[in-house]
């Protein structure tokens, strides 16, 4: 068993599950979307991206690209969240939380692509 692959796979799957946990719930209800879960999803997604920089294969470039997409969407969502709560004040409006959750959904889709590519790579290596 390759410990590096285990850690790599762990972070990819953890990024997916944390993002899914944040995304789940009514899209316009801020009570269904925890800021700490969002922060954890962002941090783990960034960690997964850093781990992907070492892979020089063609599959590795696709994994890195999908991870960068997820990171970009989560970072934009974090900026919107921070701007809405700190710069504007007054908490999260329905439109704001909807935008944040929608961006998180895009990141979730990118994470699904990463996990699918990881499964394909594993299946190819088994043969």
User: Domain span at residue 20?
Assistant: 3-126
Tell me the pLDDT tens digit for each residue of 5-26.
889 899 999 999 999 999 998 8
Q: How many domains does the chain have?
A: 1
pLDDT, tens digit, for every residue of 34-73? 999 999 999 999 999 998 887 778 888 999 999 999 999 9
The model's pTM: 0.90
Burial of 41 (0-12, 13-18, 19+ CB in 10 A): buried
Residue 53 CB partners (closer than 8 Å, separation 6+): 64
- Whether 1 shows a pLDDT value over 80: the answer reads no
pLDDT (0 to 100) of residue 17: 96
């Amino acid at each position: 068993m390759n410990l590096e692959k285990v850690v790599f796979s762990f972070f990819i799957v953890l990024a997916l599950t944390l993002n899914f946990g944040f995304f789940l719930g009514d899209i316009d209800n801020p009570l269904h979307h925890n800021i700490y879960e969002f922060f954890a999803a962002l941090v783990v997604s960034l960690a997964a991206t850093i781990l992907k920089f070492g892979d020089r294969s063609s599959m590795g470039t696709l994994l890195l690209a999908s991870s960068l997409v997820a990171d970009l969407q989560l970072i934009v969502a974090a900026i919107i969240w921070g701007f809405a709560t700190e710069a504007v004040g007054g908490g999260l409006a329905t439109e704001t939380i909807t935008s944040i959750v929608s961006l998180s959904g895009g990141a979730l889709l990118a994470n699904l692509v990463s996990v699918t590519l990881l499964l394909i790579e594993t299946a190819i290596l088994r043969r």
